[in-house]
Amino acid sequence: MDFAPSALASWQGEEEKKEGIHQAQEDQTQEVEVKLAVLQFYKVYDLGKVQTLRKECHNTECGAGTFMASHFDRHYCGGD
C-alpha cells in the first residue's frame, strides 16, 4: 500500500473521541416538573367562578384547550 505523506501525518495526529465527556453533560439537563401546572392557565375565585388567564388559540389546527403564551408585548401560539 502506498500512502501520501500528508494523509499519513493527519491520520497519526487524530485522537479517539472520548465518549464519557459528552454523557456527563447530557445528564445535567433535566426537565423541571411543575406540580399542578394547570393553575397557570386559570384563576379560581372564592365564589367558584373560574377565569382563564391566557387566550385560547383561534387556529383550527391547534384544537380546543390550546392556550397561547403571553409575552409582555404579544401572544404567541407554539403550533406550526
Beta partners for residue 52, in sequence order: 42
Question: In 3-state terms, what secondary structure has residue 35?
Answer: coil
Instruction: Dig out the grid coordinates for 53 from the structure.
Output: 388567564
Q: How much is the mean pLDDT over the chain?
A: 76
pTM for the predicted model, two decimal places:
0.46
Place of cell 409575552: 71
Condensed to tens digits (0 to 9), the pLDDT of residues 26-37 reads 666 777 888 888
Structural domain boundaries of the chain?
A: 54-79
